[in-house]
Structure formats: C-alpha cells, structure tokens
Amino acid sequence: MGLGQLEVEFLLHEHRHRPITGRVLTIGKPSIALSPAKMSSLLDSYGIAQRHSAFEIDTSNQHGSGGITDRSMFAAFSDASVQAADISAYEGAEHIFNICDDVPEQLLGSFDFVVDAGSLDNVFEPGRMLMNMAKMLKPDGRLFTFAWSNSFPSAYVKISPDWIMDYFAANKFADCKVYNVEHPSVRHGETALSVWHYDPFVRINSRIPVRHWRLHSYEASAIEDERPAQVFCVAERALYSTCERRAVQKHYRGNEVQPYLDSISRFRRSSRPVFKSPTSGPIDGSESISSVNTMRQVARW
C-alpha cells in the first residue's frame, strides 16, 4: 500500500480546497513514493506553503522504502496529527483491528480525514470496510480512497466507479467526487496516463414522449476501455449522513431513483472543484470512455 505522485496530488488538491487539519487516520502504514525534492516541487506547483524541509526517509515500510514517511509528507503542508490503523502491529500502527470487523467504539466519529492507501481492493468485504471508514469520520470529515478497477493481478476485488459513488449517494453524504484513472497499456506501447471525472447526472433525450420524460437520469459509468484502471474517490460526510445503507444498482432501483438524483444534485452544487492538476499536460480531447457520456477527461500525462 502506498501513495505515489497522483495520490499525493489528490490530497494537495483537496487541501487547497479546504485545509487538512485535526486528526488524520491512514488505513495501513502507506509508503510514499516521493523524494524530498519531488514533494517540495509538488507543493510549489499547487501554491501551498511548505511548513518544513526536514523530511524523514522511510527505511522500514514493508511495501516500499526510500521515499519520505507519511508523517513528514503530511507535516510538509498540514498541522494535522497522523495515526494509522492496521490488522497487525508489524509496521507500528497505533490502532490494531480488522477494518472489516466492528470499529473500536473510541474511534467512531473521531477523525477529520481518513486516507485509505490502497486497502479497499485487498479485503474480502469492501462494502463493510467502506462503511467502517465512514463511521470513523466526524460530521464534515473527509475520506480519500482509491482501488483497482480492473487488470491488476494482486487486487483481491475490483471496484467500479458506480459502486463507490452509489454508496455515498445512498448514504446522503455532503459531497462525493469519483474518478477513473486510466493507465497506459504497456502491451500496446502506450505511455499516457489520464484521469476521468465520473458524473452520473445525464440529461435524457428530449425526443422521449413528454408523458415519460424526466429531465435527468442517474446513469452508470458504462466504461468501454480495456486499459488498466483505478477508481479514486473524495467524499465528505454531513451531519445528516448515514453509513450503513446499502446501495442498489441502477438497473434494479425501480421507482427508488429520486434519492440518488437528490444526492448527485447536491454533489454537483458543492463548492469542491473537480480535480485539476497543475502538472498535467494538455487534455487531448479524447472521446468519452463511457458509452453514455458520464466520463470526462480532466488530466493527462
């Protein structure tokens, strides 16, 4: 588990929207695949003041060492206190429990920011894990998670953009932004990586007879692409949010569509900007990777 440049950029993008402060919990002890110089460069690109330059070098993480530690990464731009939860104490986590079992009572509603550095696709019950991470958030607390969506051999399960968006919509979160990260196909000699924003709020064709016409529909991601892909998500809990509602897939909701549309409307009204990277190259104008046009490219390297 770990954070590379793109994952750290998502954190900096979120920090620039609203500073990451208070109590931060990481799920697992993430390795950070950045040198001190690269971290400083990213902070400069995002226009974020660097709070220190005394980076610690990670020499003990079992998932990769040689980069900076997670604590010194956060401390470079935030005054947040950082703790970790893990299934065992082998990397020094402060909280030891199975993220798919009951959360210790003292951790419920305790954290301002939860970072899952790649565990969601490595557990047997990802739905339970997502619920538990949400339960540990304070009202207005935020969650950042990412997981493989296809074509990664060591991922235990594959997570779709629809699955994770629907959870936060069903549980009435204040906001949720979901992205599909398309990795280059080495087999086909590709080198470009791109980020696509998923927006399920689609206007229905006006040629549908008026008596059957709803102005908008909640659509699936419907991705038609075979490149290796990840799902990235930033979500914010509200005072009225729940955590244990189970979403129903689009095709089986019957007349229970409106709660999902209400949530998506709320997400679209949020002041949180869609991800945009100052390090990105030009957007190449590629056609949407979605057959129903719910994916829009927002960054490309």
Question: Which tokens sit at 217?
Answer: 């529909």
SS3 assignment for the chain: CEECHHHHHHHHHHHHHCCCCCEEEEECCCEECCCHHHHHHHHHHCCCCCCCCCCCECCCCCCCCCCECHHHHHHCCCCCEEEEEECCCCCCCCEECCCCCCCCHHHCCCEEEEEECCCHHHCCCHHHHHHHHHHCEEEEEEEEEEEEEECCCCCCCCCCHHHHHHHHHHCCCCEEEEEEEECCCCCCCCCCCEEEEECCEEECCCCCCHHHCCCEEECCCCECCCCCEEEEEEEECCCCCCCCCCCCCHHHCCCCCHHHHHHHHHHHHCCCCCCCCCCCCCCCCCCCCECCCCEEEEEEC
What pLDDT shows up at residue 209?
46
Report angle CA 7, 245, 110 to the nearest 5 degrees. 55
Count CA within 13 A, CB hemisphere, residue 164: 32
Q: What string of pLDDT tens digits covers the 301 residues of the chain?
A: 799 999 999 999 999 999 999 999 999 999 999 999 999 999 999 999 999 989 999 887 666 567 999 999 999 999 999 999 999 988 888 999 999 999 999 999 999 999 998 999 999 999 999 999 999 999 999 999 999 998 777 788 999 999 999 999 999 999 999 999 999 988 888 889 999 999 998 876 545 443 443 556 888 899 998 889 999 999 999 999 999 999 999 989 988 888 999 999 999 999 999 999 999 999 987 788 999 889 999 999 9
What total of structural domains would you count in the chain?
1
Give 205's contacts (C-beta < 8 A, 6+ positions apart).
none
Q: Which of 22, 10, 136 is nearest to 78 (CA)?
A: 22
What pLDDT shows up at residue 279?
97
What pLDDT shows up at residue 24?
98
What pLDDT shows up at residue 208?
46
Question: Which tokens sit at 131?
Answer: 């619920």
* Domain containing residue 252: CATH number: 3.40.50.150
d(CA 53, CA 37): 9
What pLDDT shows up at residue 161?
96
Domain extent, residue 40, equals: 2-300
Residue pair 274/298 in contact by the 8 Å Cβ criterion: yes
What pLDDT shows up at residue 216?
65
> Could you tell me the maximum CA-CA distance found in the chain, to the nearest angstrom?
66
What pLDDT shows up at residue 211?
43
What pLDDT shows up at residue 215?
54
What pLDDT shows up at residue 63?
62
